[in-house]
Amino acid sequence: MALLAVIAWGSGVYGEQDVLGRPLSNGPLSLPYQRPAPHCRTFSSPLVEKVIEDLTSRMKDKDLARIFENAFPNTLDTTVRWHDGKSAKSKRHKIGNDDDGHWDGAQSFIVTGDINAEWLRDSTNQLAQYQSLAKKDKSLERLILGAINTQAEFVIESPYCNAFQPPPPSGIPPVSNGQEDSVHPAYEPTRVFECKYEIDSLANFLALGNQFYKSTGSKEFMHKRWYLAINTLLEVMDEQAKPTFDPQTGKFQGNEYLFRRRTQAGTETLNLGGMGNPLNGGTGLIRSAFRPSDDATILGYFIPGNAMMATELKQAAEMLKAVGKSEIAKQLQTRGESIESGIWEHGVVTHKRYGQVFAFEVDGYGSSILMDDANLPSLLALPVLGFIKKEDKVYQNTRKMILEQAGNPYFLEGQAFGGIGGPHVGLQHPWPLSRLVQAMTSDDDDEISDALKAVRSSSRLGLVHESIHVDRVTEYTRMLSLLHSAR
């Protein structure tokens, strides 16, 4: 069963005729129409409109059809803050007197929606459902190409950072995140919105290019700036593979990345002077200071993030080998295989009730965290990421563990809604995203149907929410368009 699903935060820009949400859907929920008026949309694609019309006309569930109609185009409707589809030969975005290719070619700034900043992870996922259409729609192809080029510039300049300000050529002024952060390496706040180092941010940079090449066959993004971003990514991996103590002398050797925030929330900063808890060496794993939820890791070897990185490195290696870049392809393949081996050696633990399962986080010393979080990448989403087949025994054990309260402290249930949540929004707000991933990783028709019904019934405003209160579907955090492509 194919599900369409991506995360995109709506910007709240709606036309006058849409304020009342008319026309309502013809289903029992009477869901409102939530698209901006055409003249208020930030990007448009006739092909996307055709997909919406073709699919919704064939859907029997008119409430689910309305959610798709609202959510599928939401990234284009509300979050393309700046786009220039120019060719690579254009130089009009040159900054200063450098002739190194800064901001050359198509550029796209995709904001996370309710915040005027771009997260690497979010923008990759916001564009994912359009990748398969890009070959047939030149405007979509240029939009995604621009997003790859823009992400490359972000990675080159501040590879440890997760969220970025508008690019200088856009002319859009930067905004403050209102936080008091002390970060090493230092960054320029007019270029960076937030600098939490998350391994999946870099994995999503790889994923954006991998998906684009697979869908279009285009090599236009493989220019010197993209290769420089790849090399920068590899340097970060080298730095974050180092243990806390020198394996030869046993002496403390610190870490290249430190993060401290003035806050009353322990999940918003790192302990031990901004370094986080000690990690052992020789694991093959890569440290991640923060999770995709932007919460701090407890044990720095975050397994879902490492799994995504291993998968994207190997896919990028295949892509580069196909275009004749065998040397760098071999580097990426080797690194991906090393991380994958580390996951199987250090990230699989034996649970007395569930048997062998994937841990959420480990430290290489034998300690592990057993849980899952709704944000992607997650343990539940390992087959969606392409890391493992959903029939795998260890995955099935893990899936059983994290989809019940006895095994996952963040599996939350109540009278109105249930699913996986996370520490980011507390202990009473599971995420509809987790129910969609549950459906995407199941072959059971009843389980899939129950998950979709739960998401549909909780989406009373015609868009899917970030999280829902377990006892009251009218109490939610943020309104999202949650629609992500997986087949």
With 0-12 CB in 10 A as exposed, 13-18 as middle and 19+ as buried, what is 115? Answer: middle
Q: Are 93 and 107 in contact (CB under 8 A)?
A: yes
pLDDT for residue 113: 79
| Residues in CB range of 460: below 8 A, 6 or more apart | 29, 31, 473, 474
pLDDT for residue 86: 80
Q: Are 395 and 359 in contact (CB under 8 A)?
A: no
pLDDT for residue 12: 36
**Among 415, 400, 455, residue whose Cα is nearest residue 433:** 455
| CA–CA gap between residue 356 and residue 380 (Å, rounded) | 15
Q: Are 440 and 408 in contact (CB under 8 A)?
A: no
pTM: 0.93
pLDDT for residue 296: 98
CB atoms within 10 A of CB 449: 13
From first to last of the 487 residues of the chain, give the pLDDT tens digit.
334 333 333 333 333 334 468 899 999 999 999 999 999 999 999 999 999 999 999 999 999 999 999 999 999 999 999 999 886 554 444 444 445 788 999 999 999 978 899 999 999 999 999 999 999 999 999 999 999 999 999 999 999 999 999 999 999 999 999 999 999 999 999 999 999 999 999 999 999 999 999 999 999 999 999 999 999 999 999 999 999 999 999 999 999 999 999 999 999 999 999 999 999 999 999 999 999 999 999 999 999 999 999 999 999 999 999 999 999 999 999 999 999 999 999 999 999 999 999 999 999 999 999 999 999 999 999 999 999 999 999 999 999 999 999 999 999 999 999 999 999 999 999 999 999 999 999 999 999 999 999 999 999 999 999 999 999 999 998 765 444 333 2
pLDDT for residue 56: 98
Q: How many CA atoms, within 13 angstroms, populate the side-chain half-sphere of residue 146?
A: 23
DSSP per-residue letters across 243-285 = -SB-TTT--B---S-EEEE--S-GGGS-HHHHT-S---SSS--
Q: How many CA atoms, within 13 angstroms, populate the side-chain half-sphere of residue 476?
A: 21
Q: Are 375 and 422 in contact (CB under 8 A)?
A: yes
**Among 70, 43, 259, residue whose Cα is nearest residue 141:** 43
390: its two tokens: 């959903």
| CA–CA gap between residue 150 and residue 315 (Å, rounded) | 21
Cα of 129 vs its chain's centroid, Å: 13
| CA–CA gap between residue 421 and residue 389 (Å, rounded) | 24
pLDDT for residue 479: 61
